[in-house]
């Protein structure tokens, strides 16, 4: 009898391993047919922190202290990646634009240094359709198409002109906030009550910014924004939106995640939610595993359909990732898990990249309907952005009493100190 039990366990283990291998092989076949497009990776920020963007000091083949290197990318079959051009919130009102431009620059230089592995998915004309062409061309050449997303509306310093210039440099989405309010939008922390509500969502300038992004053909990214901003943008945007790296609130009630009613609105908008792998957003605990992440894919499919889901790992932007998804090489294992759960080939291919490509095309169609619309060149009202670090050239002259308020000695000392600080960081 004991021998029979041992034989049964051996046969079961063999069968389980065989089935798992079949799912993995099936996953790799699908990933050879449809490009995997991930919505968010913070490797450029790691290059800033570790090397101050000095690419001569780093080899992306041998770098092993990050979730991402070229060998891991190849093993993970990562066909296209939105690299985050990120500047921290403490750069707001200081040098956020410079910091962001330097992150855009380092992404360009990554592609120039490793032309056999990366292809910048942007065009000099700035057309979204050519970004799609670049993605498919890179996929055919076994390269990783490299797209750019600016993570945080503070990076544009409340300037539509700055945003348009960033688009010309290859930026294809703007995350409206990070973890701080901008002068025109509330971030997700207001929903935790750890930060005050400043705008009850979007200001009029914020809504104008959404319309300008529609006109340009830039993707609107709602990761990191408050729930009120989510709903207002979905009511305002003529084009599909994305959540570049967010998970589902029903499974993990973290305010960075997407509630079910918003998932339904994203479905109606023909947008996409790209699932984040950060443990705290996956299980609301410090620990998580690959199966927990797959639960979020299942939930989005259940609520909003498989056409509304994608991959948004947030690798190198977080300090904890699920067991089984330790770095970017592990994407095929997650795809295999979805196959094990009964996802069809078409559903898998949609989630891998076809959904994001469809969103790109829809954004392009909206842009094309707005070709006769002039760029929005009305600046944000001065009173919404006025601070000692900002000049006011171009605005109507202010009354002397408003322009140079009377200050007592303590306030004057504080103001001089703040101006000195601003000068230091410019």
Which residue among the candidates 23, 67, 224, 254 is catalytic per the annotation?
224
Closest among 212, 211, 281 to 253, alpha carbons compared: 281
Q: What is the DSSP letter of 115?
A: T
Catalytic residue (one of 38, 95, 117, 151): 151
Could you say which of 67, 154, 199, 245 is catalytic? 245
Question: Any residues with CB less than 8 A from the CB of 382 and at least 6 apart, and which?
Answer: 392, 395, 398
- Active-site option among 38, 42, 347, 350: 42
134 is catalytic: no
224 is catalytic: yes
In whole angstroms, give the CA distance from residue 413 to residue 255: 39
Contact by Cβ (8 Å): 315, 41: yes
- What are the two backbone dihedrals, phi and then psi, of residue 305, each rounded to the nearest 5 degrees? 90, 155
- Of residues 221, 314, 316, 337, which has the active-site annotation? 314
108 given a catalytic annotation: no
Q: How far apart are CA 248 and CA 252, in angstroms?
A: 6
Which of 186, 303, 352, 310 is closest to 255 using CA atoms? Answer: 186
> Of 23, 178, 199, 296, which one is the catalytic site residue?
178
Helix (H, G, I), strand (E, B) or coil at 221: strand
- DSSP line for 67-97: S--HHHHHHTTEEEEEEEEE--GGGTTTTHH
Token pair, residue 421, equals: 């600080």
Q: How far apart are the first and last CA of the chain?
A: 78
Answer yes or no: 298 catalytic: no
Q: Which two tokens stand for residue 49?
A: 């922190």
Told to judge if 178 belongs to the known catalytic residues of this protein, a careful annotator would answer: yes
**313 burial level (CB within 10 Å; 0-12, 13-18, 19+):** buried
Question: What tokens appear for 360 in the block?
Answer: 């790109």
Burial environment of residue 52 by CB neighbours within 10 A (0 to 12, 13 to 18, 19 or more): exposed
Q: Of residues 23, 40, 67, 254, which has the active-site annotation?
A: 40
Q: Please confirm, yes or no, whether 42 is among the known catalytic residues.
A: yes
Asked if 333 is an active-site residue, the reply is no
Residue-wise burial string across 198-228, b where 16 or more C-beta atoms lie within 10 A, e elsewhere: ebebbbebbbbbbbbbbbbbbbbbbbbbbbb
Q: Which residues are catalytic?
A: 40, 42, 151, 178, 224, 245, 314
């Amino acid at each position: 009898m004991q021998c029979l039990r041992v034989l049964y366990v051996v046969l079961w283990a063999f069968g389980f391993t065989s089935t798992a291998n079949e799912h993995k092989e099936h996953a790799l076949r699908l990933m050879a047919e449809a490009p995997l497009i991930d919505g968010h990776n913070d490797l450029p920020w790691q290059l800033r922190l570790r090397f101050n963007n000095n690419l001569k000091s780093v080899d992306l083949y041998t770098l092993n202290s990050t979730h991402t290197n070229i060998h891991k990318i190849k093993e993970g079959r990562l066909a296209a990646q939105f690299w985050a051009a990120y500047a921290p919130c403490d750069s707001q009102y200081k040098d956020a634009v410079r910091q962001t431009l330097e992150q855009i620059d380092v992404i360009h230089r990554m592609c120039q240094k490793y032309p056999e592995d990366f292809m910048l998915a942007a065009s000099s004309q700035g057309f979204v359709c050519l970004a799609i062409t670049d993605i498919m061309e890179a996929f055919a050449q076994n390269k990783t198409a490299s797209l750019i997303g600016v993570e945080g509306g503070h990076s544009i310093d409340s300037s539509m002109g700055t945003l348009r210039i960033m688009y010309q440099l290859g930026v294809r989405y703007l995350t409206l906030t990070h973890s701080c309010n901008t002068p025109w939008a509330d971030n997700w922390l207001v929903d935790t009550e750890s930060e005050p509500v400043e705008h009850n969502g979007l200001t009029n300038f914020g809504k104008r910014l959404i319309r300008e992004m529609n006109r340009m053909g830039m993707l609107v990214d709602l990761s990191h924004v408050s729930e009120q901003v989510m709903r207002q943008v979905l009511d305002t945007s003529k084009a599909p939106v994305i959540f570049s790296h967010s998970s589902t609130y029903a499974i993990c009630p973290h305010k960075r995640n997407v509630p079910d009613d918003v998932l339904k609105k994203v479905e109606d908008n023909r947008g996409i939610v790209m699932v984040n792998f950060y443990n705290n957003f996956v299980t609301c605990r410090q620990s998580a595993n690959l199966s927990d992440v797959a639960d979020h894919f299942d939930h989005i499919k259940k609520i909003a359909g498989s056409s509304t889901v994608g991959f948004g790992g947030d690798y190198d932007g977080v300090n904890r990732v699920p067991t089984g998804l330790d770095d970017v090489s592990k994407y095929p294992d997650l795809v295999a898990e979805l196959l094990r759960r009964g996802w069809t080939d078409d559903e898998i291919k949609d989630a891998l990249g076809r959904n994001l490509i469809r969103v790109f095309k829809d954004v392009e169609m909206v842009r094309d309907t707005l070709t006769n619309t002039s760029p929005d060149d009305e600046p944000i009202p001065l009173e919404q952005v006025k601070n000692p670090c900002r000049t006011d050239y171009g605005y109507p002259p202010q009354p002397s009493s408003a322009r140079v308020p009377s200050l007592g000695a303590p306030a004057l000392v504080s103001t001089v100190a703040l101006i000195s600080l601003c000068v230091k960081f410019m």
